[in-house]
């Protein structure tokens, strides 16, 4: 890798204020990009050296996912687009759907270099990179590479179901899922704007589940009839419970740039 990213020990250029200027918030985002790049680079080097586990690929995924969320929030369209493709491949790799061999590792390292160039560009340290070839390579890797386990095609059972009844059942919390004093409760209610800016709720929930969380309720009352359904809207609200041993800062990390979409208590 070409950059040798190292996170700065502090962010003197990013003063916290009671009312923060847009430039200050953007500077904090860039500082977090540096930190994410540093952790991702270290994880990629571990993979290249053959010294890695599931958490190693999770670290890279979280860094890219966080950068994508911030890019969407601040309108860095090129960065958001590239991180979307990078994140998709990483998600398949951490699911075990792609074999993390030497070829895929080199592709991830090359993609990291392009990502670092994108971050440098928004800092004003160079031009926006031409990422078309790398995006094509990332897309091709999703379909051309052998998977660790090819899922069998589902059989046609001929069964019917009542969608309304299923939705009503989803809205009924289990008696076993009452909150306790030893647990956090997270309510995730993304908006359409969050989705446009890269705030993908399923990926956020996966991060929470990886921390030991569980989904206890899905509120579907806002889902409209099919003729009024907007595929780009956001209708669902999820409630999750997580172990109380998790510190609050870690718990809030998945929502860094869409804080209004989640409540933690």
* Percentage of the chain exceeding pLDDT 70: 70
Residue 252: band (very low, low, confident or very high) from pLDDT cuts 50, 70, 90 = confident
R_g over Cα of the chain: 20
* Domains present along the chain, CATH in parentheses: 22-144 (1.20.120.160), 163-264 (3.30.70)
What pLDDT is recorded for position 153?
52
| 178 CB-contact burial (10 Å; exposed 0-12 / middle 13-18 / buried 19+) | exposed
Work out the mean pLDDT of the chain and round it to a whole number.
77
Tell me the DSSP string of 206-219. Answer: HHHHHTT-EEEEEE
Average pLDDT over residues 93-100: 88
What pTM does this model have?
Answer: 0.56
Q: How far apart are CA 157 and CA 205, in angstroms?
A: 30
Tell me the DSSP string of 74-85. Answer: HT-HHHHHHHHH
Query: Cα–Cα–Cα angle for 151, 155, 157, nearest 5°?
Result: 150
* Whether the predicted pLDDT of 37 surpasses 70: yes
Higher pLDDT, 53 or 85: 85
* Whether the predicted pLDDT of 66 surpasses 90: no
Question: Which alpha helices (DSSP H) does the chain contain, by range?
Answer: 22-48, 54-74, 77-94, 102-122, 132-144, 163-170, 192-196, 201-210, 248-252
* Whether the predicted pLDDT of 169 surpasses 70: no
Higher pLDDT, 79 or 69: 79
* Whether the predicted pLDDT of 114 surpasses 90: yes
């Amino acid at each position: 890798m070409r950059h040798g990213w190292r996170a700065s020990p502090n962010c003197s250029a990013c003063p916290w204020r009671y009312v923060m200027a847009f430039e200050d918030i953007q500077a904090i985002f860039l500082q977090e990009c540096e930190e994410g790049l540093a952790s991702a680079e270290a994880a990629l080097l571990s993979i290249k050296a053959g010294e890695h586990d599931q958490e190693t690929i999770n670290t890279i995924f979280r860094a890219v996912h966080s950068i994508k969320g911030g890019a969407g929030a601040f309108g860095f369209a090129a960065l958001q687009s590239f991180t979307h493709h990078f994140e998709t491949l990483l998600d398949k790799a951490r699911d075990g759907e792609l074999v993390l061999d030497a070829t895929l590792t080199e592709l991830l390292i090359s993609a990291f270099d392009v990502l670092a160039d994108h971050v440098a560009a928004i800092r004003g340290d160079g031009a926006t990179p031409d990422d078309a070839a790398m995006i094509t390579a990332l897309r091709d890797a999703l379909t051309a590479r052998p998977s660790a386990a090819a899922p069998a095609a589902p059989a046609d059972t001929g069964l019917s179901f009542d969608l309304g009844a299923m939705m009503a059942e989803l809205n009924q919390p289990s008696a076993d899922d009452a909150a306790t004093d030893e647990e956090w409760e997270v309510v995730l209610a993304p908006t359409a704007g969050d989705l446009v800016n890269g705030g993908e709720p399923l990926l956020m929930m996966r991060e929470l589940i990886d921390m030991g969380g569980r989904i206890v309720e899905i509120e579907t009352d806002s889902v409209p009839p099919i003729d009024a359904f907007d595929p780009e809207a956001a209708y669902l609200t999820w409630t999750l419970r997580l172990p109380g041993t998790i510190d609050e800062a870690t718990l809030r990390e998945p929502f860094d740039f869409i804080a209004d979409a989640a409540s933690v208590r």
